[in-house]
Amino acid sequence: MGGTKTAAVLLTDAGQVVASITEPTDRSGSPKEVAEFAESLVDHLLREASCSRDLLKAVGIGLPGLITPDRIFRDSIILPAWRNVDFQSLLQPRLGIPLVVDNDTTMAALGHMATIPKHQRPRCLVCLTLGTGVGGAILLDGIPLRGIDGTAGQVGHTVVDPAGRRCDCGNLGCLNAYASGTAITARYLELRADHTAPMSTKIAAERVGLPQAISQGDPLARRALDEAINALIVALSGIVNVLNPEIVVLGGGVAGIGKAFIQPIQIGISDLSFPAPAQRVRVHQAAHGPMTGAVGAGVTAAELATRADSDAL
């Protein structure tokens, strides 16, 4: 579940996607309403795959907010009405099977990791999702780094300019205010309002979307994206120096731009980071695109089901 869209997939025991769906996210929905919505998505996937509920072994869900180590949804800028919600207790009785709840970007990190052969998996992986906001997650030896309160990995609130733009969290200069899809589009519209350029007068971000505006050669869209790339390079270079990751994964709608987005970030990190960790790190686009978080939730659910089966023996 993201701030704009909610993606869901049905996986086989082997991890193959057999059904998928994407729906708009209702950010005004109460926890109970979102639990009902989640159950409806499960039923839709089962119908699409011609499966009955008794074949379903477990469900995973990623939510856009802070998740405590005991899996309580603490709070979120995207879902401001949610405070200390035990979402698992709301949804699990409706499903009647094992359920795991985690942060949406953590699920995306696990989804990407699952695509890497086990003998090639990195010891340290950092994942950012760039959509309505900037989400972050860190995996160490395949296990999410959570911190004392579950706030580890909040890369979106890394300050890249102390005198910069106001973030939704109230601070100045957070990465979120530069590199989220929301921020990039807002900056593009701001530039269009201040400049007159033949291409930009023909292309509206609201109508065709920022990736299309960039691909069609709008210089103002490119400028807005370059500002986001520069902010990401600053934030990620610090993370590379501190954590020494082998892989940085970029997901969400903005990363869908592809090589024109990923490559300059790779080059910038190499230039700005301390040389030793810079030599090792590689920047990847999320393996399953906008479905990576959903796949990660499915993989996590499968692991939960396996543990439940083992405990039952």
Q: pLDDT, tens digit, for every residue of 249-300?
A: 999 989 988 898 999 999 999 999 999 999 999 999 999 999 999 999 999 9
Task: State pLDDT tens for residues 152-191.
Answer: 999 999 999 999 999 999 999 999 999 999 999 999 989 9
Place of tokens 């970029």: 250
Q: Do the domains 5-109+290-312 and 119-286 sit in the same CATH topology, yes or no? A: yes
Query: Is domain 5-109+290-312 in CATH 3.30.1370.60, yes or no?
Result: no
- The structural domains of the chain, with segments of one domain joined by +, span 5-109+290-312, 119-286
What is the length of the chain?
313
Q: Is 143 within 8 Å of 129 (Cβ atoms)?
A: no
Q: Is 228 within 8 Å of 184 (Cβ atoms)?
A: yes
What architecture does CATH give domain 119-286?
Answer: 2-Layer Sandwich (3.30)
Of all residues in the chain, the percent with pLDDT exceeding 70 is 93
Task: State the Cα–Cα distance between residues 21 and 92, nearest whole angstrom.
Answer: 21
Residue 142: other Cβ atoms inside 10 A: 15
Predicted local distance difference test score (pLDDT) of residue 192: 85
pTM of the shown model:
0.92
